[in-house]
Amino acid sequence: MPKHSKVTQREQSNEHVTESVADLLAHEEPVDYKRSVLNVSSETHSKDKEVEEDSDSEDRPAWNSKLQYILAQIGYSVGLGNVWRFPYLCQKNGGGAYMIPYLVLLIIIGIPLFFLELAVGQRIRRGSIGVWNYVCPRLGGIGFASCVVCFFVGLYYNVIIGWSIFYFFKSFQYPLPWSECPIVKNGSMAVVEAECDKSSATTYFWYRETLNISNSIAEGGGLNWRMTLCLLCAWSMVGLAMIKGIQSSGKVMYFSSLFPYVVLVCFLVRGLLLRGAIDGILHMLTPKVEKMLDPQVWREAATQVFFALGLGFGGVIAFSSYNKQDNNCHFDAALVSFINFFTSVLATLVVFAVLGFKANVMNEKCVVENAEKILEYLNLRILSHDLIPPHVNFSHLTTKDYSEMYNVIRTVKEDHFQELRLDACVLEDELNKAVQGTGLAFIAFTEAMTHFPASPFWSVMFFLMLINLGLGSMIGTMEGIITPISDTFKVRKEIFTVSCCVCAFLLGLIFVQRSGNYFVSMFDDYSATLPLTIVVILENIAVAWVYGTKKFMQELTEMLGFCPYRYYFYAWKYISPICMAMLLSASLIQLGISPPGYNAWIKEMVKEKCFELHSWALAMLISLIILAVFPVPMVFILRQFHLISDGSNTLSVSYKKGQMMKDISNLEDNDETRFILSKMSSEAPSPMPTHRSYLGPESISPMEMSGISSGRYGSNYLIATSPESEL
């Protein structure tokens, strides 16, 4: 890290000597920055050192290849949100026009903050706790807050993987179990299940067969044993994938990161061959430019950019900490960000191609049902045959013919039209039905697949893709917990990984009771949004304003071998913090305008109904948010008043020149500590210059600085430090 030289002056001599810890260690082997003592004597020209190697740094695992690392970052950032959140936002916020604010915000806040997390993780080679303890000990709570949020997200995210596992195994039958409504016996008669008949087969299968959902969040209803087994299976998969750290999870990424792209491409090709697919894609691409003037569109685009890249979770930092120090993380940031965007667009094309096909099928079904009503009215002489255009053929009724007939009847029978209960059957209305999240994956998409030829095959592929997308994100999320905790507290990764998975499974049982889906929605909507936004703002401030943007840019230049674009300086220092503060403010305002609530499926009404959260659920939600951000002020206060160790690295150096001794101990936050940290052994030597003293931006030459006598670093020397040498 920075190598600020110290200007020293003998008490009885005017001779100036410029010396630094960097110079002392220039030809030395890496030493333990915490416990080592280095003695240098100019009289004997010999060097004696005691070294206790930090085994965690010496033996820190590394990625087998650059490809494995890139796939891990892609697998982590590309998740379920790309498949079911981005298409919904695109449909809701202006179609193709939505991509303009998304791309702008990706460049303004997405890539710079993603690059920042990659850079600090790669440079410091620690998880989120160690990184922020190092950058600014008083803000070390950022790392703990990231771990807490990761844990909250992991609890409910794996439940979604469990649902996908359930549907995956149910897909190995023909016809698919959600393609038709079940038949029940009512005495001697066989009738269609009423709840299914009034909704749809896929809706019934999701709410009743899969979740067996209760009518409200207050009605627990006991555990759903099938979902409990699926959740156990999901956590077993995560545990096995991570039991050996990146050595095992890295190999899993080859399949879990690449397989979804194979499935998406196959679905796109198949979707384009379906009737009505082009209608769906044109509906998506048609821009509604006026939507770009809506601040809500920009807020939702910023939120999607923020979560799509996995910022603030600690997974990005954890993965990059296993890199070599000369890795080009600047290129990685741009590459992964644009692959993420490309994946979102690809998934949106697939979704709208399939939904375009579904809309055509549903529209044709609507035409047939309403044509039968019209024929019945004609037979009962409620309608006159004169109202039917002569070219209309009921045996081959087209959408256009029905639309013409519908308009004539509505005009003539204007006073009594409502009593006829005829539907307009407009394709655009079907395409405008916005569906997101579980509603898209487990209801709309599954319904569309029932109309595919060889539907079980496509269903198996689709849910296997969801499992892999979820698994890749879960590995990154859990890495955001396991890596920083194991780095900080030196616990065995295998034992801690298993303990984490077991504990998470037991706590996750709340999500597999009959009301569990409501808890999933509550956690997904509220438990992570505000805490993560606060975490990322503090990360940005810690690097740009506490540590120093110019200093950080200089260190990136030394680490990468080239100077990053000047744009990043202004993005980190001004643009990103302002944008993130505006996003936080907008989120708080939105919460004030729309109090937290949830959509409940009411069995008797056979429809969803929105409810406000009960007081106990609201208290639980507030507690989750407070618990997630609480480590930040707690660590700040404890370290401000020296109640706990500052968490930074310490060094004790004894430097002997003749009869004069210079003792440097407990450097805490100073730049020499960071330099020692940079000298720690790694898989490849750091490309940073060894001898050059780093003069921080806007700092003056050390030879021009005035000294201070008898400072805390010892007597008999006048010590001069750069203004930026302390945080």
Binding-site annotation: residue ranges for Na(+):
75, 78, 82, 340, 469, 473
Instruction: Name every residue whose Cβ is closer than 8 Å to that of residue 240 and which is 6 or more positions away in sequence.
Output: 248
Distance in angstroms (rounded) separating the CA atoms of residues 145 and 626: 10
- Let me know if 668 is exposed, middle or buried by CB neighbors in 10 A (0-12, 13-18, 19+): middle
Q: What residues are paired with 190 via a beta bridge? A: 185
Pair 522, 621: CB distance under 8 Å:
yes
DSSP 330-364: HHHHHHHHHHHHHHHHHHHHHHHHHHHHHHHHHHH
Rg (alpha carbons) of the chain, rounded to whole number? 31
Pair 31, 38: CB distance under 8 Å:
yes
**Could you check whether the bond before residue 295 is cis, i.e. omega within 30 degrees of 0?**
no
Pair 108, 494: CB distance under 8 Å:
no
Distance in angstroms (rounded) separating the CA atoms of residues 137 and 140: 5
Q: Distances from the Cα of 201 to the Cαs of 189, 192, 372, 416, in angstroms? A: 20, 10, 22, 33
Q: What is the DSSP secondary structure assignment for residue 650, as one 8-state letter?
A: -
Closest CA to 252 of 532, 527, 476: 476
Q: What residues are paired with 653 via a beta bridge? A: 38, 664
Q: What residues are paired with 665 via a beta bridge? A: 652
Distance in angstroms (rounded) separating the CA atoms of residues 260 and 4: 49
Distance in angstroms (rounded) separating the CA atoms of residues 114 and 316: 8
Phi-psi region of 677 (alpha: psi -120 to 50; beta: other; left: phi over 0): alpha
Please give the helix or strand (H or E) that residue 258 lies within, else none. helix 246-272
CA angle 697, 703, 708 (to 5 degrees): 95
DSSP 209-252: IIS---SSTT----B-HHHHHHHHHHHHHHHHHHTTTHHHHHHH
Distance in angstroms (rounded) separating the CA atoms of residues 703 and 281: 67
Distance in angstroms (rounded) separating the CA atoms of residues 18 and 23: 9
Which residues are documented as binding site? 75, 78, 82, 340, 469, 473
Order of strands, edge to edge, in the sheet holding 652-657? Answer: 46-50, 37-41, 652-657, 660-665
User: Helices 455-489 and 246-272, interaxial angle, to 10°?
Assistant: 150
Distance in angstroms (rounded) separating the CA atoms of residues 368 and 374: 10
CA 343 and chain centroid, separation: 14
**Would you state the structure tokens that stand for residue 431, as one six-digit string?**
């395409």
Pair 249, 72: CB distance under 8 Å:
yes
CA 610 and chain centroid, separation: 27
Pair 117, 539: CB distance under 8 Å:
yes
